[in-house]
A and B are shown apart, each in its own frame.
Chain A
Amino acid sequence: MRLLYFAWLKTKIGKTEETLDLPAGIATPAALVDWLKTRGPGFAEALKDRRTLRVAVNRRHVGWDFALKPGDEVALFPPVTGG
Protein backbone atom coordinates (compact mmCIF):
# COMPACT_ATOMS: atom_id res chain seq x y z
CA MET A 1 0.00 0.00 0.00
CA ARG A 2 1.25 3.47 -0.90
CA LEU A 3 0.85 6.11 1.80
CA LEU A 4 1.12 9.87 1.21
CA TYR A 5 1.35 12.64 3.80
CA PHE A 6 0.70 16.33 3.15
CA ALA A 7 1.13 19.72 4.83
CA TRP A 8 1.98 19.53 8.55
CA LEU A 9 1.55 15.74 8.63
CA LYS A 10 4.51 15.47 6.26
CA THR A 11 6.61 17.66 8.56
CA LYS A 12 5.68 15.81 11.76
CA ILE A 13 6.04 12.35 10.23
CA GLY A 14 9.23 13.34 8.43
CA LYS A 15 8.41 11.94 5.00
CA THR A 16 6.11 12.62 2.09
CA GLU A 17 5.37 9.03 1.14
CA GLU A 18 6.15 5.39 1.76
CA THR A 19 5.11 1.98 0.50
CA LEU A 20 4.18 -0.58 3.14
CA ASP A 21 2.78 -4.05 3.60
CA LEU A 22 0.14 -3.62 6.27
CA PRO A 23 -0.37 -6.14 9.05
CA ALA A 24 -3.41 -8.36 8.55
CA GLY A 25 -6.70 -7.04 9.82
CA ILE A 26 -6.29 -3.38 8.84
CA ALA A 27 -9.40 -2.91 6.75
CA THR A 28 -10.24 0.80 7.10
CA PRO A 29 -8.45 4.16 7.23
CA ALA A 30 -9.47 4.37 10.91
CA ALA A 31 -7.61 1.13 11.68
CA LEU A 32 -4.70 2.24 9.53
CA VAL A 33 -4.29 5.47 11.51
CA ASP A 34 -4.46 3.57 14.81
CA TRP A 35 -1.69 1.27 13.62
CA LEU A 36 0.46 4.08 12.14
CA LYS A 37 0.35 5.87 15.52
CA THR A 38 2.34 2.99 17.02
CA ARG A 39 5.22 3.45 14.55
CA GLY A 40 7.01 6.26 16.39
CA PRO A 41 6.65 9.59 18.16
CA GLY A 42 6.32 11.58 14.89
CA PHE A 43 3.41 9.41 13.79
CA ALA A 44 1.84 9.51 17.25
CA GLU A 45 2.02 13.31 17.34
CA ALA A 46 0.77 13.84 13.78
CA LEU A 47 -2.11 11.38 14.06
CA LYS A 48 -3.17 11.88 17.67
CA ASP A 49 -6.49 13.56 16.85
CA ARG A 50 -8.36 12.16 13.86
CA ARG A 51 -10.71 15.16 13.90
CA THR A 52 -7.81 17.27 12.55
CA LEU A 53 -7.27 14.83 9.65
CA ARG A 54 -8.87 13.91 6.35
CA VAL A 55 -8.25 10.86 4.19
CA ALA A 56 -8.35 10.08 0.48
CA VAL A 57 -8.14 6.63 -1.11
CA ASN A 58 -7.08 6.41 -4.74
CA ARG A 59 -7.39 10.21 -4.95
CA ARG A 60 -10.97 10.45 -3.70
CA HIS A 61 -12.16 11.83 -0.38
CA VAL A 62 -13.50 8.97 1.76
CA GLY A 63 -14.72 8.38 5.31
CA TRP A 64 -12.80 6.63 8.08
CA ASP A 65 -14.80 3.41 7.62
CA PHE A 66 -14.02 3.05 3.87
CA ALA A 67 -13.03 -0.51 2.85
CA LEU A 68 -9.32 -0.62 1.96
CA LYS A 69 -7.89 -3.02 -0.61
CA PRO A 70 -4.29 -4.11 -1.19
CA GLY A 71 -2.53 -1.73 -3.57
CA ASP A 72 -4.65 1.28 -2.63
CA GLU A 73 -3.05 4.73 -2.52
CA VAL A 74 -4.00 6.28 0.83
CA ALA A 75 -3.34 9.96 1.52
CA LEU A 76 -3.60 11.58 4.95
CA PHE A 77 -3.81 15.37 5.25
CA PRO A 78 -5.33 18.24 7.21
CA PRO A 79 -8.56 19.87 5.97
CA VAL A 80 -7.83 21.58 2.65
CA THR A 81 -7.18 25.34 2.38
CA GLY A 82 -7.06 26.17 -1.33
CA GLY A 83 -8.82 28.89 -3.28
Chain B
Amino acid sequence: MIRVQREDFDVGFEIENLTRGKTTIGGIVTFVGTVRDPGGANAIMAMTLEHYSGMTEDELTAIEAEANKRWPLDASLIVHRFGRLLPGERIVLVVTAAAHRTAAFAANEFLVDWLKTKAPFWKQEETPQGTRWVEARDSDEQAAKRWAKG
Protein backbone atom coordinates (compact mmCIF):
# COMPACT_ATOMS: atom_id res chain seq x y z
CA MET B 1 0.00 0.00 0.00
CA ILE B 2 1.12 3.53 -0.66
CA ARG B 3 -0.30 6.88 0.40
CA VAL B 4 0.65 10.48 -0.33
CA GLN B 5 -0.85 12.95 2.09
CA ARG B 6 -0.50 16.32 3.80
CA GLU B 7 -1.47 15.02 7.25
CA ASP B 8 0.80 13.38 9.79
CA PHE B 9 0.61 9.62 10.40
CA ASP B 10 0.58 7.50 13.55
CA VAL B 11 3.36 4.92 13.28
CA GLY B 12 1.84 2.50 15.78
CA PHE B 13 -1.57 2.64 14.15
CA GLU B 14 -0.11 2.11 10.67
CA ILE B 15 1.90 -0.96 11.74
CA GLU B 16 -1.08 -2.45 13.54
CA ASN B 17 -3.41 -1.73 10.62
CA LEU B 18 -0.97 -3.21 8.09
CA THR B 19 -0.13 -6.41 9.92
CA ARG B 20 -3.26 -7.27 11.91
CA GLY B 21 -4.21 -10.92 11.49
CA LYS B 22 -1.21 -11.74 9.27
CA THR B 23 0.24 -14.40 11.51
CA THR B 24 2.89 -15.59 9.04
CA ILE B 25 4.81 -12.39 9.77
CA GLY B 26 7.85 -12.87 11.99
CA GLY B 27 9.53 -9.49 11.66
CA ILE B 28 8.50 -5.90 10.97
CA VAL B 29 10.98 -3.18 9.97
CA THR B 30 9.95 0.47 10.18
CA PHE B 31 11.74 3.50 8.78
CA VAL B 32 10.58 7.00 9.68
CA GLY B 33 12.22 9.97 7.95
CA THR B 34 11.96 13.31 9.75
CA VAL B 35 12.74 16.96 9.01
CA ARG B 36 16.26 17.63 10.22
CA ASP B 37 17.56 21.00 11.36
CA PRO B 38 21.38 20.73 11.23
CA GLY B 39 21.65 23.97 13.23
CA GLY B 40 24.51 26.47 13.09
CA ALA B 41 25.22 27.97 9.67
CA ASN B 42 22.88 25.44 8.02
CA ALA B 43 19.92 26.01 10.34
CA ILE B 44 16.45 25.70 8.85
CA MET B 45 13.11 26.90 10.23
CA ALA B 46 10.86 24.77 8.01
CA MET B 47 10.76 22.65 4.90
CA THR B 48 8.14 22.49 2.15
CA LEU B 49 7.76 19.35 0.09
CA GLU B 50 6.38 19.80 -3.40
CA HIS B 51 5.39 16.78 -5.49
CA TYR B 52 4.08 15.78 -8.90
CA SER B 53 0.61 14.56 -8.02
CA GLY B 54 -0.24 11.44 -10.00
CA MET B 55 3.33 10.57 -10.91
CA THR B 56 4.25 10.33 -7.22
CA GLU B 57 1.59 7.69 -6.62
CA ASP B 58 2.60 5.81 -9.80
CA GLU B 59 6.29 5.79 -8.84
CA LEU B 60 5.68 4.71 -5.25
CA THR B 61 3.38 1.92 -6.45
CA ALA B 62 6.04 0.73 -8.93
CA ILE B 63 8.79 0.85 -6.29
CA GLU B 64 6.68 -1.11 -3.84
CA ALA B 65 5.83 -3.70 -6.51
CA GLU B 66 9.55 -4.09 -7.27
CA ALA B 67 10.35 -4.69 -3.59
CA ASN B 68 7.62 -7.33 -3.40
CA LYS B 69 9.08 -9.00 -6.49
CA ARG B 70 12.58 -9.12 -4.98
CA TRP B 71 11.74 -10.18 -1.41
CA PRO B 72 9.06 -12.43 0.09
CA LEU B 73 7.15 -9.74 1.97
CA ASP B 74 3.90 -10.41 3.79
CA ALA B 75 3.02 -6.71 3.89
CA SER B 76 4.49 -3.35 2.94
CA LEU B 77 3.50 0.29 3.30
CA ILE B 78 4.86 3.64 2.12
CA VAL B 79 3.32 6.87 3.44
CA HIS B 80 4.91 10.10 2.18
CA ARG B 81 3.83 13.59 3.24
CA PHE B 82 3.91 16.85 1.30
CA GLY B 83 3.38 20.48 2.27
CA ARG B 84 5.12 22.63 4.90
CA LEU B 85 6.78 20.74 7.76
CA LEU B 86 8.75 21.86 10.80
CA PRO B 87 11.99 20.36 12.15
CA GLY B 88 11.22 17.11 13.96
CA GLU B 89 8.06 16.41 11.98
CA ARG B 90 7.67 13.09 10.20
CA ILE B 91 8.08 13.09 6.39
CA VAL B 92 7.98 9.46 5.32
CA LEU B 93 7.08 6.05 6.71
CA VAL B 94 8.24 2.77 5.18
CA VAL B 95 7.09 -0.49 6.78
CA THR B 96 8.12 -3.93 5.57
CA ALA B 97 6.97 -7.19 7.13
CA ALA B 98 8.16 -10.69 6.34
CA ALA B 99 8.54 -14.14 7.84
CA HIS B 100 12.19 -13.41 8.60
CA ARG B 101 14.08 -10.21 9.38
CA THR B 102 16.61 -10.43 6.53
CA ALA B 103 13.99 -9.81 3.85
CA ALA B 104 12.24 -7.13 5.90
CA PHE B 105 15.48 -5.18 6.52
CA ALA B 106 16.72 -5.46 2.93
CA ALA B 107 13.39 -4.53 1.36
CA ASN B 108 13.01 -1.55 3.68
CA GLU B 109 16.44 -0.18 2.79
CA PHE B 110 15.76 -0.76 -0.89
CA LEU B 111 12.43 1.11 -0.72
CA VAL B 112 13.95 4.12 1.01
CA ASP B 113 16.93 4.24 -1.36
CA TRP B 114 14.75 3.97 -4.45
CA LEU B 115 12.06 6.40 -3.40
CA LYS B 116 14.71 9.03 -2.66
CA THR B 117 15.92 8.92 -6.26
CA LYS B 118 12.69 8.13 -8.13
CA ALA B 119 9.64 9.58 -6.38
CA PRO B 120 9.01 13.12 -7.70
CA PHE B 121 9.32 15.18 -4.50
CA TRP B 122 11.33 18.37 -4.07
CA LYS B 123 12.30 19.97 -0.77
CA GLN B 124 12.52 23.70 -0.25
CA GLU B 125 14.08 24.89 3.01
CA GLU B 126 13.30 28.10 4.88
CA THR B 127 16.47 29.51 6.41
CA PRO B 128 17.30 32.80 8.17
CA GLN B 129 18.86 33.87 4.82
CA GLY B 130 15.76 33.01 2.77
CA THR B 131 14.43 29.96 0.96
CA ARG B 132 16.53 27.46 -0.99
CA TRP B 133 15.80 24.26 -2.91
CA VAL B 134 17.59 21.20 -1.57
CA GLU B 135 19.97 19.70 -4.11
CA ALA B 136 19.99 15.99 -4.85
CA ARG B 137 22.84 14.17 -3.13
CA ASP B 138 25.25 12.02 -5.05
CA SER B 139 25.37 9.69 -2.03
CA ASP B 140 21.64 9.00 -2.47
CA GLU B 141 22.23 8.18 -6.14
CA GLN B 142 25.05 5.81 -5.20
CA ALA B 143 22.90 4.18 -2.50
CA ALA B 144 20.14 3.52 -5.04
CA LYS B 145 22.61 2.12 -7.59
CA ARG B 146 23.75 -0.67 -5.33
CA TRP B 147 20.32 -2.29 -5.85
CA ALA B 148 20.70 -2.33 -9.64
CA LYS B 149 20.44 -5.81 -11.05
CA GLY B 150 23.56 -6.94 -12.85
Identify the A interface with B (CB < 8 A). Answer: 4, 6-8, 56, 59-61, 75, 77-83
Contact = CB atoms under 8 A, between A and B. Distances in A.
A81 B118 contact: no
Contact of A80 (B33, B92, B136): B136
Contacts of A61: 59, 118
Contacts, number: 72
B134 interface: yes
Interface residues of B, number: 29
B124 A59 contact: no
Contacts of B27: none
B120 A6 contact: yes
A82 to B, nearest CB: 3
Contacts of B134: 81
Interface in B92-132: 92, 112, 115-124
Contacts of A56: 52, 55, 120
